[in-house]
Chains A and B, each alone.
Chain A
Amino acid sequence: QKEVEQNSGPLSVPEGAIASLNCTYSDRGSQSFFWYRQYSGKSPELIMFIYSNGDKEDGRFTAQLNKASQYVSLLIRDSQPSDSATYLCAVNGLSGGYNKLIFGAGTRLAVHP
């Protein structure tokens, strides 16, 4: 079982729709959870992070965390063609003061006009 799993996609949504990206993780001790966006040929850029169960909103983005189900999701409202990218979920299993950040393989999102 992979430590962080994401559907590779592509996830295709029409412009203006809600895109829903999902991620599951295997380490119950994981403490912090991140969503990154990576355009083709570019470096990842942080969208948002979440620590606590529930929702966290930032503009058009909402991260949702359910530690009991070991599940993290990212919702993108009013999707735009410029949101077309690969979305990476990352999980940090901080242990003894040491970070160990594990990325999923990413989900490709395609927003079509």
Chain B
Amino acid sequence: DAGVTQSPTHLIKTRGQHVTLRCSPISGHKSVSWYQQVLGQGPQFIFQYYEKEERGRGNFPDRFSARQFPNYSSELNVNALLLGDSALYLCASSPGQGLETQYFGPGTRLLVL
């Protein structure tokens, strides 16, 4: 079975631009969570979506938004990019709303210049 997939794998943007990151969960998983991981730090929780509704939110500005589609895939959107948004963006899926069996994708590495 395929694991969590994310696209693109790498991305370079300039300040002020907008970016969309995509995630496809493991088949049968209905929850997707997004994390930002800066080098040398642990992942920071951005959002969780379950059954297409937001079920968790971290301390990120409104420039960050996400949505989940009927097929349970998800998009993370970041507007007005800042240099500090450069990071590895991780998506994780789980069967239900709980985070006990959460599987991470390989991540999208975003560089903002």
Contacts and interface: CB of A to CB of B under 8 A. Distances in A.
Contacts of B107: 43
Chain B, interface size: which category?
20 to 34
Interface string A1-43: 0001000000000000000000000000000101000000011
A49 B100 CA distance: 7
B28 interface: no
Contact of B104 (A43, A92, A97): A43
Interface string A83-108: 00000101010000111111111100
Given A103-B42, A106-B42, A92 B58 contact: no
A29 to B, nearest CB: 15
A98 B99 contact: no
Nearest to B42: A103
Interface string B48-73: 10000001111000000000000000
A55 interface: no
Given A88-B42, A97-B97, 15 more contacts: A32-B99, A43-B105, A43-B106, A44-B43, A44-B90, A45-B104, A46-B101, A46-B102, A98-B57, A99-B45, A100-B58, A101-B45, A102-B45, A103-B42, A105-B40
